[in-house]
Every structure is written in C-alpha cells, then in structure tokens.
Amino acid sequence: MEAKQDKQDSPTPAEEARRLYEEAEARTARAMEGVVGRDAFGELLARVTENVLAVVKMGNDAADLVVRNLRIAGRRDITGLARQLARTEDKLELVLQEVERLRDAVEQPSVNGAKPPARGTDDGRRTTARPRRRAEPGS
C-alpha cells in the first residue's frame, strides 16, 4: 500500500526532465544577468557602441558624398527641409496660443471697464476656456 502511494507521489521521468530543464534555464538566466551586470560588460558595450558608430559615420559620410556629387537631394537635405517646417510649426503654435489668449481676453466681459487678465500661459496654467477646435472623429 505504502509502496503504491510512493509510486503515485514520485514524479514521472518526463516531469523530472522538465523540472531539471526549468532549473537549468533559471540558473542560466541568473548567470547571464550576472554577466551583463559586470563592469567589464559595461566597458565592452561602450567600446562596441563606439566602434559601430564610427563605422556608421564613415558609411553615412561616404553615402552623402556620393549623393551630393550626383546633385540629388540626400537625407541631410531632406532633414534640413523637415527641420525648417518644424520650426515654422513651432512659431505657428506660439502665434495660435497668443491669438487664443487675446480671443479669450476679448470674450471675457470686463468689470468696470478694467482690462481683463490674460488667460493661460505657455507653462500649462490655464483657466477654463473653449477648446481650440472641435474634436475630429475617427483617429
């Protein structure tokens, strides 16, 4: 009876193999985390990053030289144009905020003819105001 109970409790070979595998995996994971946590690994990573970037830089410079000599717009030119657009958008945003501030000030009825205070600042402070535009459906 007791022997039968022992047989039921003891793991099957498949279960035992699985347990051993999971133990090995967990040990490997811990060991690898130990490796990547060492100073030497950090140093190696820094050097490898530097090497990869140096190669990328040489490749980029060479590609740029070829593209420029072919008189066609390269990545740098397109980035330059996109940056100009982004700066224009920055200015437009500031103008829009100023317009909204003025609109809110005009719409707020003044008391005793006093000039209404400006509402909202560019650091996020804001008093209740209308949304700039209606929400667009389906985004």
Partner 1 sequence: MSAVEQLARYPVAAVEFANIILTQGDATIGATPKDVVWTHRKTTLYRYRSDHRRHALPVLLVFALINRPDIFDLRPGHSYVEYLLDEGFDVFLVDWGVPGDEDADMGLDSFVCDELAWAIRETLRAAEQDELSLVGWCIGGTLVAMHAATAERSPARNLVLLTTPVDTSGSLYGKWVGRESFDVDLVAEVLPSIPGAGIDWANKMMKPVTNWWTTYRQLWDRVLAGDGRREAYQAMARWVADNPPFPGRAYREWITWMYKENRLVSGRLRLRGRRVDLRRIDQNLLVVTAGADHIAPRPGTMPLLDLVASEDVTHLDRPGGHIGLMAGSKARNEIWPEIAEWLAERSDK
User: Which of 20, 53, 63, 66: binder of partner 1 (CB under 8 A)?
Assistant: 53
CA 118 vs. chain centroid, Å, equals 35
3-state secondary structure of 120: coil
Polymer length in residues for the chain? 139
Task: Give whichever of 59 and 66 is closer to partner 1, judged by the CB atom.
Answer: 59
Instruction: List the one residue from 15, 75, 110, 117 that touches partner 1 (CB under 8 A).
Output: 75
**Nearest-CA neighbor of 132 among 93, 91, 100, 109?**
100
Whether residue 127 contacts residue 119, with contact meaning beta carbons closer than 8 Å, is answered with: yes
Q: Which is nearer to partner 1, 66 or 92 (CB)?
A: 92
Asked if 19 touches partner 1 (CB under 8 A), the answer is no
Report 79-108 residues binding partner 1 (CB under 8 A): 79, 82-83, 85-86, 89-90, 93, 97
Smallest distance, Å, CB 137 to partner 1? Answer: 6
The yes or no reply on residue 131 touching partner 1 (CB under 8 A) is yes
Question: How far apart are the two ends of the chain, measured CA to CA in Å?
Answer: 69
